[in-house]
Structure 1
Amino acid sequence: MSKLLWSPTESYMSESELYRFQVFLEKKQQLVFNNYQEMWAWSIDKPADFWRLVLAFFDIQYSGSFTEVLIMPESGMIGTKWFEGISLNYAEHIFRNATAERPAVIFKKEGQAAQHISWETLGKQVRAIQHYLLKNGLQIGDRVAGYLTNSPDTLAVFLAVNACGGIWSCVSPDFGLESIIDRFQQITPKFLFFDQKYTYNGKLFDKSSAIESLLKQLPSVEHAIEIGGKTWNEILTENTEGKTLVFKRVPFSHPIWILYSSGTTGKPKAITHSTGGNLLEHYKALAFHQNLKSGERFFWYSTTGWMMWNYSISSLLVGATLCLYEGSPSFPENTSLWDFAAENQIDHFGGGAAYYIHSMKSKLELSDISLNLKTIGSTGSPLSEEAFDWLNVNFPTTQIISLSGGTDVCSAFVSGCPFLPVYSGQIQCRTLGSAVFAYSDSGEELVNEPGELVITKPMPSMPVYFWNDENNQKYHDSYFGNFEGIWSHGDLVEINQTGGVIIHGRSDATLNRGGVRIGTAEIYKVIDGISEIQDSLVVCIDYKDGSSLMKLFIKMKAEEAFGEDLIKRIKTELRSQFSPRHVPDEVLLVKDIPYTVSGKKMEIPVKRLLMNYPLEKAVSLDAMRNPESIQWFLEYRKV
């Protein structure tokens, strides 16, 4: 049994949003649950009742009416309809929390003082941007793309786009040109907002040439607006007095934003999320599982290219103050994020597991920093027992909420619960409405044993579709190829008899770099362009301490050409074409790259071998085209 780190007090439980929901269920539906597990079981057994009551509990504002909560097609989850007949708006629910009593946003850029931005200021900015968008022809359903830093300006642009009924899609400036083109070309945006320069780790990066090239590749863009540029300043200074912020309600399933898959098997898939689905899911996830309440301050270190940005801005839905940090978490000091939290009395602190592991290994002294955190959130990769223990030593009264989900639902399947204890190395629970189980390869449920993370019933925040995906073929192949009609997520998960969860890492070939998933296809695209290299294979190895290493194995046309100069070229090309996250930790020369008889690179078997799986459990030699190639990897793992 894992070590017990934290238990909720009676007052902690009774003052939680989840307890308020429990009382609501008792009064409205005479539903009585003896524990969280019973409530969770009801929520997945009666999904229509559960989501209807979530809609009512949060007083979701909508037009029209619905007769059925969900209509599921006979063919499976794809095409499930939720709350057909109603229309709503996400930004409308953000602004109903506007108040003069506290700031809407607290923003800090690395090396600069924090700014407190009032609801009035945010509202005026959103109104001005909306006026510009409508004046220049933005229609409901038009796409607006952002190449933007994590700033209040980005938030304002998104809210204005959403208030107009537009569809948002954003990447961060550390993405390389090819990576952005692969994403934005698919969705043909009408407007592009961009930051021409950004600062990271004390260095200034100018993206002017990338933006110039990008616009040549995006003929659909009719208006390109630089944040801080001439047009931007004209937008904000135009007299819009008498103009009101208009919230255009759209159908429940209307897209709110387009996020992107990692690009494992080609170009990143444009995952299209619904307005109503994400609205309901984020209310549920943040209020019930993060225990976030009105008036509290919520922070999650993220970039605009990670779904945690979308998740964190939804803290505004429940009346929290959103705290944003732009820049390196370790500049100018290793304690920069912790200092930001202390100086601004943050209640909820979130980041990638890799950040906490880095803080732990850096032996940060946090005792001198005045922090009174209600929760610490971790995601992106598994949080090790050592990191759990380190956080608990530094914050013994704080609930540690490890969560896991993904871009696919823009939320978490497994997360925290204010009713349950926290054990070292273990996620507290499966979230309400998430029918999560561990399956064997033959489709049998596993308990206390690692298996494939599956979801057996639909959720409102599952994608409505992939953009330009004819007959939903890519959608089906991405999640429903292993078990027909059941979502298979690509994570290796272990669920114990009390509902506690351990994520062991990816069960597929996707590379996990500090919480950002990277497709192997993007790596190979660059490597294939280097003439001296004949073939390559890339894997990301997850270790028990929560760390991971990306290893790139290359086969040369002439082995004597391998050396430091070539390795430097590889890293430079990956960084410039895509991002620093695409740069491997190690580049290694191999005799041959393992392939299946059908010609597929054997990324998962190699990963398993390097994670010390027994040979017979890692790879089927009979299914290989070149089984002798495995010998090199067996020898390598002995080193």
Structure 2
Amino acid sequence: MDTPLWSPSAEQVAKANITDFRAALNDNRFGTTPGLKLEDYWQLHQWSVENAPQFWDTLVRYDGIQFTTPAQEAVRDADQLPGAQWFPGARLNFAQNLLRRRDDHCALVFRGENGARKSLSYGALYQQVARLAHSLKKRGVGKGDRVAGFMPNCLETVVAMLATTSLGAVWSSCSPDFGINGVIDRFGQIAPKLLFTTDGYHYNGKNLDNLEKVARIEEMIDSLEAVVVVPFLEPGAFAAQPLPLASGLLWESLLANDASEIPFEPMAFDDPLYIMYSSGTTGVPKCIVHGVGGTLLQHRKEHRLHTDLKADDVLFYYTTCGWMMWNWLVSGLASGATLVLFDGSPFYPEPGSLIDMAQEEKITVFGTSAKYIAALEKAGVRPAQTHSLPALRTILSTGSPLSHESFDYVYREIKTDLCLSSISGGTDIISCFALGCPALPVYRGQLQCTGLAMDVHFVDEQGHSHIGEKGELVCRNSFPSMPIGFWNDPEGARYHSAYFEAFKGWWCHGDYGERTEQGGVIIHGRADAVLNPGGVRIGTAEIYRQVEQIPEVQEAICVGQQWLDDVRVILFVRLQDGERLSDELVARIRQMIRSNTTPRHVPAKVIAVADIPRTISGKIVELAVRNVIHGEVVKNTDALANPEALELYRDLPELKD
């Protein structure tokens, strides 16, 4: 762990945006930071935490954030958590900041699993947004109205979001693979005025119709005044036949005008921009409201300084519109970069399909999930031998902890000279607490650093933190991308309960991990899924890391079972096709865990299952499985992509002895 897998060259460090930003601070380029002599990232980070208002104020100036009305101060009541007010009195528009570039440079490329490819320049994107915004305004959409997207990750989704937010309305989206109840649980709470959707979508070689679901949704959400349909499966499908919806409008009809300018609505820094949703596996999803300025500023920090995004970059993230990484991805427009949008299965028609795309589109920053990287290795994909990826300089990974072995795989089988940045944050903050840095080395199994101006620690129950010791992730200072609250939570009680009850005055995120001697971070899993055999806290990621090295195991899920006044570790494994869970394989799994962790980690039971339940965004649901094996109710199965899988864990005889 002491030897880096990769270190940036002196030239790479010199050319990095974060190096220029540090020089701007040292040179007092913006008149905000006299007398600084910050020599590296760690000194910059320490200064940014101790002087957070100055940091954010300087970032606004450095990035050229467009304000209609600038703020007179960066923050008011900075010590209040929650309660700090960032950039009070400021006015700005989110879409305006994303559409600063308006030339012929490519803004968006859409790639479908079926081979479809479409693109839009920045100039063409601006024109489409102008026309759609004109039509939305004529239909009465304005400041504070909610507009929902039940859309694939395609060009039209980005245009719809930008048109919505240009008018000061609030955008909320989920992907079309959500079931009807999952959609109603989300959009039904926020009363949207308009719904954008498609006639269907493609996944794993299948064309999946969407309009029957949409008709039911239209009936069940009284607030909807219109449903706008993008013909996605068949572009000319409704030229000669009416839409099967009571209030249906065709996408093309809303672009059939000659508007050429966008009437950007000035918004307060903490006016609502996005409504996002918790996973909803323990009840109806929480509606998390994110503000205009906080989202923009945090994404600009993470893109420009932590990801080193520049105007000539090609940025890709494998995501649906129901995951916060879509919101993070589209903010890349503010850098003037080209964004690649993909919709479909990442393994269709071949396991290496996204690598093919990376080569063809000359992707420079490739974002994905830890599970995808592990699956690539299991599938035997070896891009270093089969592809030419000279443009690729960064791989981003999130969704779950990236195992040490996946770090090895990336550098062995994909590319030796790139920055592998595992990142971690969440929908709750629409951004990251720990992430990458182009000027720092990459160590096996570690996230490179905590975010600038974020006072992140891993603490025990008394609130103490120590290097190399595991604890709960907390942030001890205010930051602009904290939610402005939950929808329909006027007194803020649910919001306060979710993040501020465990440690008064600190944000408690719910992750379990540790800081390393190198300054990096290791995430061991969700704090509420931590195992506790014999009173020893164990992160599930520690077990997954070992199990996923077994060739016969495709994936696993681990939970704690209450047993004889203690907790015992139960490991469920989904095996590769054609494999069976023999006594020899069980012994090998246990030995792998025992040899590389501790005897406490060794599961009392190893049980084969045909499927593992996961959320629609792909995360395994340990709490739901734990509830099922204890005979407890899983309150909201509509949040799951495969809720039927839970039945595989009910009343298992292996768990009764």
Q: Same fold (TM over 0.5)?
A: yes
Look up the match of 2:595: none
Q: Which residue of 1 aligns with 2:527?
A: 507
2:556 maps to which residue? Answer: 549
Residue 533 (structure 1) aligns with = none
Letter in 2 for 1:435: D
Q: Are 2:79 and 1:71 aligned?
A: no
Which residue identity does 1:272 align to in structure 2?
V
For residues 178-214 of structure 1, give each alpha carbon's deviation from its aligned partner in whole angstroms, at most 9, with x where no partner exists: 1111111111111111123111000111222221221
Contact kept in structure 1, 2:454 and 2:479, CA below 8 Å: yes
Matches within 5 A, 1:43-82: 43-72=48-77, 76-82=80-86
Whether the aligned pair in 1 keeps the contact of 2:474 and 2:508 (CA below 8 Å) is yes
2:387 counterpart letter in structure 1: I
> What is the identity, as a one-letter code, of the residue corresponding to 1:274?
G
Spell out the pairing of 1:164-313 with structure 2 (5 A cutoff): 164-228=167-231, 231-241=249-259, 243-313=260-330
Superposed CA deviations along residues 272-307 of structure 1, whole A, max 9, x for unmatched, are: 001000111011001111111111100010000000
Q: Among residues 388, 393, 402, which one is paired with 2:407 in the alignment? A: 388
Summarize the Cα distance change of 1:509–1:468 in structure 2 as closer, same or farther, 3 Å threshold: farther
Distance of 2:471 and 2:102 partners within structure 1: 45
What is the SS of the residue equivalent to 1:104? strand
Q: Which digits, 9 at most, give the CA deviation of each residue in 1:199-233, with x for residues without a partner? A: 10001112222212211221011111111266334
**Which of residues 158, 163, 170 is equivalent to 2:161?**
158
* Partners of 1:351 and 1:6 in 2: CA distance: 19
CA distance in 1 between counterparts of 2:85 and 2:525 reads: 32
Cα distance change of structure 1 residues 429 and 485 upon mapping to structure 2, 3 Å threshold: same
- Secondary structure in 1 matching 2:333: helix
Is this contact kept in 2: 1:264–1:509, CA < 8 A? no
Range 365-374 or range 270-279, more displaced: 365-374
1:406 aligns with 2:426: yes
User: Does 1:90 find its partner at 2:94?
Assistant: yes
1:600 CA displacement: 12
SS at match of 1:471: coil
1:554 and 1:587 in contact (8 A); partners too: no
- 1:571 to partner: Cα distance: 10
* Deviation of 1:495 (Å): 0.1
| Deviation for aligned residue 1:37 | 1.1
Structure 1: which amino acid aligns with 2:630?
I
In the TM superposition, residue 458 of structure 1 has moved relative to its aligned partner by 0.9
Contact 2:322–2:617 at 8 Å: present in 1 too? no
- Residue 482 of structure 1 and its aligned partner are, at CA, apart by 1.0
Flag structure 2 segments of 5+ consecutive residues without an equivalent. Answer: 232-237, 244-248, 532-539, 549-554, 563-608, 636-650
Amino acid at match of 1:334: P
Question: What residue identity is the alignment partner of 2:517?
Answer: Q
Residue 417 of structure 1 aligns to a residue in which SS?
coil
CA distance in structure 1 between the aligned counterparts of 2:171 and 2:52, rounded to whole angstroms: 28
Secondary structure of 1:8's counterpart equals coil
Quote the residue 1:562 is aligned against: none
Deviation per CA, 1:33-52: give whole Å up to 9, x if none. Answer: 12211111111111111110
AA matched with 1:363:
G
User: Counterpart amino acid of 1:454?
Assistant: V
State the alpha-carbon separation in 2 of the partners of residues 103 and 43 from structure 1: 34
- Contact 1:448–1:494 (CA under 8 A) maintained in structure 2: yes
**TM-score w.r.t. length of structure 1:** 0.82
SS state of the match for residue 5, structure 1?
A: coil
Letter in 1 for 2:394: T
Name whichever of 378-387 and 21-30 sits farther off: 21-30
How far apart are 1:552 and its partner, in Å? Answer: 9.3
d(CA) in 2 for partners of 1:589, 1:8: 43
Select between 282-291 and 30-39 the one with higher mean Cα deviation.
30-39
Segments of structure 1 that go 5 or more residues without pairing to the other structure are: 512-538, 556-569, 602-628
- SS in structure 1 of the partner of residue 106 of structure 2: coil
Paired AA for residue 403 in structure 1: I
Aligned-CA RMSD value: 3.2
By how many angstroms is 1:484 displaced? 1.1
% identical aligned pairs: 37
Note if contact 1:540-1:549 (Cα within 8 Å) is conserved in structure 2.
no
Residue 631 of structure 1 and its aligned partner are, at CA, apart by: 12
Aligned residues: 559
Question: Partner letter of residue 21 of structure 1?
Answer: F
Q: Structure 1 residues 542 and 141 mapped into 2: Cα distance closer, same or farther (>3 Å)?
A: farther
Distance (Å, rounded) in 1 between the aligned partners of 2:610 and 2:193: 34
Aligned-partner SS, 1:544 = helix
1:563-583 Cα offsets, whole Å, 9 max, x none, are xxxxxxx999x99xx859599
**Structure 1 residue 549: Cα displacement:** 3.3
Q: TM-score, normalised by structure 2?
A: 0.80
Amino acid aligned to 2:386:
D
**Distance in 1 (alpha carbons) for counterparts of 2:466 and 2:395:** 29
Inter-CA distance 48–216: structure 2 relative to 1 (3 Å threshold):
same
CA deviation after TM superposition for structure 1 residue 350, in Å: 0.7
Helix, strand or coil at the partner of 1:422: coil
Runs of 4+ in structure 1 off by over 3 angstroms are: 539-542, 545-555, 578-592, 629-635
SS at match of 1:239: coil
Q: Does the 8 Å contact 1:590/1:632 carry over to 2?
A: no
Deviation at 1:593, TM superposition (A): 2.1
Question: Are 2:394 and 2:421, in contact at CA under 8 Å, matched by a contact in 1?
Answer: yes
SS of structure 1 residue aligned to 2:528: coil
Match of 2:398 in 1: 379
Counterpart code for 1:67: Q
Does the CA-based 8 Å contact 2:113-2:342 persist in structure 1? yes
For residue 540 of structure 1, report the CA deviation from its aligned partner: 9.9
The match for 1:437 is 457
